[in-house]
Structure 1
């Protein structure tokens, strides 16, 4: 979803009431120094429900993709070479937000 050259460097499971609602992924492209975040749904797939994904490069404004989507939110991309990032997302009443990490 992020495009060619991106590889998953981290992920988090989104769980609410003991049920896996989805997963949020952080990807990085070594070729261009961009990070990318995508949140994939595990429940209500094909039905428009609230999903979000965000990426914040330290010292810059947070970028967010949020709305009623059938399958996923994102991709949210930002140049993050030589910087730390906060990333996360939500779906099905479950959310994840990282501290600043993956400093490059």
Structure 2
């Protein structure tokens, strides 16, 4: 996933599917083993190239949530945070569909 930079690997993802079964996008959680950073990106599957509402967030347990949200052509993020020794909540939204995890992926 180029948005986070080199060295990041996808460790989890969630498909954003609307009530009619149409995929609106996907939220990715990535991890960089070299520096202990996590990264979240939400990619659009619909209205690609057109500015629509998209968001991505990452919350390290015990710290404030970091969010990237707005009207974007392709994706929201990257949102990065060091999470060594902590659990993270992550998620995002596009096309009127959202996903949010509980605290997980504890390092």
Q: Scaled by the length of structure 2, what TM-score is found?
A: 0.96
2:67 matches 1:41: no
Question: Which whole-Å CA distance do the structure 2 matches of 1:70 and 1:81 have between them?
Answer: 32
Name stretches of at least 5 consecutive residues in structure 2 with no aligned partner: none
Shift, 1:67, TM fit = 0.1
Name the count of aligned residue pairs: 104
Divergent runs of 4+, >4 A: none
CA RMSD of aligned residues (A): 0.4
How many Å apart are 1:48 and its aligned residue?
0.1
1:51 positional shift = 0.1
Alignment partner of 2:68: what SS? strand
Where do 1:1-104 residues align within 5 Å? 1-17=3-19, 18-104=21-107
Q: Which has the higher strand share?
A: 1
